[in-house]
Structure 1
Amino acid sequence: MSALAKFFLYKGVEVSGYDRSKTEITLLLSNLGSHIIYHDDISSIKDIESVDLVVFTPAISSNNVQLNHFKKTNIPVHKRAYILGEITKSYQTIAVAGTHGKTTTSSIVAHLLHQNNCGGVSFIGGICTNYNSNILLQEGQNAVVEADEYDRSFLQLHPSAIILTSMDPDHLDIYGDEESVTEGFKLFVDLLKNEDRLYVQEDLKNQFPTALTYGYQTSSTLFVYDVRLKEGYYIFNVNYKGVVYENFEFHLPGRHNLLNAAGAILSCLEWGVSFEKLKSALANFNGVKRRFEIHHNDGQRVYVDDYAHHPNEIKVLYEGLREFYPDYKLIGVFQPHLYSRTRDFLMEFQSVLSEFDTLFVMPIYPAREMPIEGVNAEVLLEGIEMDQKSLLVREEDLSYGIKTRRKVCCFYYRSW
């Protein structure tokens, strides 16, 4: 949502907004000239008579006083996804979709295009570290959009090309079951007018047999091979339609992030960007905030912040931590996000979290949901088979649990 606000501000449009509390993002928007209010009442809105458009996210409460007021007026009121689609439909849009990996992949694509002066506009679901922003603006007709499956928002977009990273079940509070999740992604893919511009992770080949694929298998259109870990980063080779490109450099840990990079490389090669330009740009990509973000590393303790809120995301994060820090004790600090997700994937969460050497679990962050009876952090923790596990009620208690340990790598996920 903040990327849209920045877009309008950069275009000289007056922007006002509401949030429940002050954050780094709202303070930044205020500094850019936006009027942000933190009380849900009409009287707080500046120049309410001059409002031309109201944009909201599906996460906003149906009881929101301001939103319900505007719905009763003649002022256009639209979801974020619709406005994003309206802005980008005049561009050649690369839309990045998938249950996991879309923020990192869209950030890499945006960076690769931006570094080669063909970026146009990019709307990203996270803060790209190179630019400290979730929106990139350049002259040009290309756009990069993170296509969110929640609430089927991505069906409002107008993609010229699609990168599909994964289709694992999630948001079952919206979709109901795994089959409906898959159907939602297929409806999104059907929006493509040119099926040659569908790029899917190789595990999805059977679902989309005509798509170009990327991954590690030699049967893929583009595959990564000869991966080497060198001084804290990857060196790897790429085979693209039988042509070999050697010695790519990539600084994000985790084989899942290598897959994200492969999807970005494939799309940009298909988009006409040269190998040498891609290689140079990828080497200086610094990642995305809260995606394997290293906050501290003194050789003895490493603190990693990651937005892994699904069991499969925690699994690949754990594998990346083990690969990069094989001699370290791994401590997980996890706050479940949503009661419904915790309920729907309870056993999967318990299985993957049990792999850590020590685990702290925080109370569930409800976001848009009301509590569900019998679903809480205690129930999650009880089913995890390990000795060193604790309920962490206060973040400040964390230091006690790790202060005496040496060679520690601490994965930290908070939901806010």
Structure 2
Amino acid sequence: MPPLILLTRLLNLLEMTIKSGDILYFIGLGGIGMSALARWCKHLGAVVYGYDAQPTNLTDELIEEGMLLHFEENTSMIPENVDYVIYTPAIPKNNIELKYFRNRKTPIFKRSEFLSLITEQFRTIAIAGTHGKTSITALTAHMLKSAGLNVSAFVGGICRNYNSNLILSENSNYLLVEADEYDRSLLKLNPLIAVISSTDEDHLDIYNDHNDIKSTFFEFGQRIKENGTLIHNLSVGPFDKLSCEKMSYAVNSDTNATATNIKIKNGKYHIDIKVEGLLIPEVRIQVPGIHNIMNTLAASSIGYLTGLSGDDIKSGIESFKGVERRMDYRVESSDIIYIDDYAHHPEEIKYTIKTIKELYPGKKITGVFQPHLYSRTNDFAKEFANELSKLDEVLLLPIYPAREQPIKGVSSSLIKNKMSNKNCTVSKRNEVIQFLKANKPEILITMGAGDIGTMVQEIETLFLN
């Protein structure tokens, strides 16, 4: 990029503020991260227009909230005098509307650039990691808000306590955001407090290898403000060479934050939490899973750093209702337990299945999984197969491509052919309901980050009727 254009772009970033009446246009408005930003701008008085590829329950809500949204690439539906354009990197580079705005020289910002601009106005807490970002962000935001702190948050899922992916407080001091590793977006943030929950191998379409991923998270740690703190899972790092303060967390460990005396009562984890010298006994975690104990420790560490009492931390944890599509109980009856989860990486699937097996020993567990991205399926087919083979019965849906073009020889059958459990079927989306009617599962888990989420209501209705 020529120096003059780069300088102009930087000045735009530094000087841009959203004012009432500004016209903003979001390309990819229906995405969970983009819609949270759009809701923020609408709250500030902006007029929000946008495009997305298809309608969903979320886009219906955005339209009801007064946003003007369409579902075809059509420049005639774009308003005149758009002040700023925000786009998601999931949008193809040849998107007609994006080209239109570039030709008109309208100020354009990638989502991560726009988010970075907003964060500089607050004491920012950024949650990073290949897994756990949304759960930690949502729990922490709820904990701080319940304790009376002025906090706002952009969340990568719908928080059940607020029925939204945007949590708002007037006159916020703190802003909670997810620091996304895809496209190295996290390197645009300069937080006061940061969490790194995990650094597993992923996004190998962006990163050269696992070391490249870990180096990027280390670089993110270097961006923490001078008087800030990094909170990290003990299993990731090392971060010794970072100049900021550091806190680690783990289960049953001599770390800055730990959980001990772990018990399962009526399907809920009960734990004792210790953060530095603060002991918080008999805390009931509403969302199951050992990984959610780890998420709770990260959130509790933030609560400690922001001055919350043990009672505040405990109350926030115990009143947290979870996030849609994160160990999300949809049906609980004597005939069927149906759980929906966003798991789309082998490590996430591993912990989801482990949790369900712990909670329902001896029960037949059926999984419906939609692989996300051709590249991820190709990179981790063996790992997906190993984890899915732990289920009693598996239904594999076609790969959800998102931003990608097909890769020759890569399909859901690549996973099936590597599975040791041969009770696996590759099926079309429109065959799922018939499969479930015929097989009558005891425990059902749907997993994936694609549009499998749009099927959840139909599956839920099947079992409730």
The alignment's TM-score, normalised by the length of structure 1, stands at 0.96
- Does the 8 Å CA contact 1:205/1:211 hold for their aligned counterparts? no
Report matched runs for 1:61-100 at 5 Å: 61-100=92-131
Distance 2:150 2:352 in 1: 29
Partner of 1:385: 420
Please tell me whether residue 40 in structure 1 is matched to residue 73 in structure 2. Answer: yes
Q: What SS does the aligned partner of 2:47 have?
A: coil
Partner of 2:303: 268
- Which amino acid counterpart does residue 110 of structure 1 have in structure 2? A
Distance 2:369 2:218 in 1: 32
Please tell me whether residue 102 in structure 1 is matched to residue 133 in structure 2. Answer: yes
Distance 1:82 1:412 in 2: 33
Residue deviations 1:251-284 (CA, integer Å, cap 9, x gap): 1010001100110001111111111111112111
Partner of 1:149: 181
- Which amino acid counterpart does residue 28 of structure 1 have in structure 2? E
- Does the 8 Å CA contact 1:360/1:391 hold for their aligned counterparts? yes
Q: What SS does the aligned partner of 1:245 have?
A: strand
Partner of 2:199: 167
Q: What SS does the aligned partner of 1:370 have?
A: coil
- Does the 8 Å CA contact 1:205/1:213 hold for their aligned counterparts? no
Partner of 2:215: 183
Pair 216,194 (structure 1): closer, same or farther in 2 beyond 3 Å: farther
Residue 285 of structure 1 is aligned with which of 297, 300, 320?
320
Distance 1:211 1:103 in 2: 22
- Which amino acid counterpart does residue 60 of structure 1 have in structure 2? I
Report matched runs for 1:122-137 at 5 Å: 122-137=153-168
Query: Per-residue deviation at 1:242?
Result: 3.9
Residue 203 of structure 1 is aligned with which of 224, 235, 253?
235
- Does the 8 Å CA contact 2:136/2:299 hold for their aligned counterparts? yes
- Which amino acid counterpart does residue 122 of structure 1 have in structure 2? A
Pair 395,368 (structure 1): closer, same or farther in 2 beyond 3 Å: same
Pair 221,395 (structure 1): closer, same or farther in 2 beyond 3 Å: farther
- Which amino acid counterpart does residue 74 of structure 1 have in structure 2? K
Query: Per-residue deviation at 1:319?
Result: 0.7
Distance 1:378 1:252 in 2: 32
Q: What SS does the aligned partner of 1:151 have?
A: helix
Please tell me whether residue 413 in structure 1 is matched to residue 412 in structure 2. Answer: no
Farther off after superposition, 109-118 or 96-105: 109-118
- Which amino acid counterpart does residue 153 of structure 2 have in structure 1? S
Partner of 2:83: 52
Q: What SS does the aligned partner of 1:264 have?
A: helix
Partner of 1:15: 48
Query: Per-residue deviation at 1:401?
Result: 4.4
- Which amino acid counterpart does residue 140 of structure 2 have in structure 1? V
Distance 1:208 1:300 in 2: 52
Q: What SS does the aligned partner of 2:334 have?
A: coil
- Does the 8 Å CA contact 1:361/1:377 hold for their aligned counterparts? yes
Q: What SS does the aligned partner of 2:255 have?
A: coil
- Does the 8 Å CA contact 2:416/2:424 hold for their aligned counterparts? yes
Distance 2:232 2:240 in 1: 8
Distance 1:369 1:205 in 2: 31
Farther off after superposition, 138-147 or 304-313: 138-147
Report matched runs for 1:232-271 at 5 Å: 232-271=267-306
Query: Per-residue deviation at 1:409?
Result: 1.1
- Does the 8 Å CA contact 1:195/1:211 hold for their aligned counterparts? no
Report matched runs for 1:222-371 at 5 Å: 222-371=257-406
Q: What SS does the aligned partner of 2:235 have?
A: helix
- Which amino acid counterpart does residue 27 of structure 1 have in structure 2? D
Residue deviations 1:258-317 (CA, integer Å, cap 9, x gap): 100110001111111111111112111010010010110103311111110000000000
Distance 1:289 1:118 in 2: 24
Distance 2:432 2:88 in 1: 34
Pair 288,99 (structure 1): closer, same or farther in 2 beyond 3 Å: same
- Does the 8 Å CA contact 1:164/1:200 hold for their aligned counterparts? yes
- Does the 8 Å CA contact 1:37/1:45 hold for their aligned counterparts? no
Query: Per-residue deviation at 1:404?
Result: 5.0
Query: Per-residue deviation at 1:330?
Result: 0.9
Distance 2:237 2:108 in 1: 39
Task: Give structure 2 stretches of 5+ with no counterpart.
Answer: 1-33, 452-465
Residue deviations 1:181-210 (CA, integer Å, cap 9, x gap): 111111111101237510001112534476
Pair 229,274 (structure 1): closer, same or farther in 2 beyond 3 Å: same
Pair 122,401 (structure 1): closer, same or farther in 2 beyond 3 Å: closer
Residue 60 of structure 2 is aligned with which of 21, 27, 38?
27
Farther off after superposition, 386-395 or 266-275: 386-395
- Tell me the C-alpha RMSD between the 2 structures: 1.5
Distance 1:3 1:349 in 2: 31
Farther off after superposition, 138-147 or 387-396: 387-396
Task: Give structure 1 stretches of 5+ with no counterpart.
Answer: none
Residue 221 of structure 1 is aligned with which of 244, 256, 259?
256
Residue deviations 1:321-341 (CA, integer Å, cap 9, x gap): 011111311111101000000
- Does the 8 Å CA contact 1:196/1:212 hold for their aligned counterparts? no
Partner of 2:7: none
Pair 243,393 (structure 1): closer, same or farther in 2 beyond 3 Å: same
Farther off after superposition, 181-190 or 240-249: 240-249
Distance 1:90 1:215 in 2: 32
Q: What SS does the aligned partner of 1:175 have?
A: coil
Aligned residues: 413
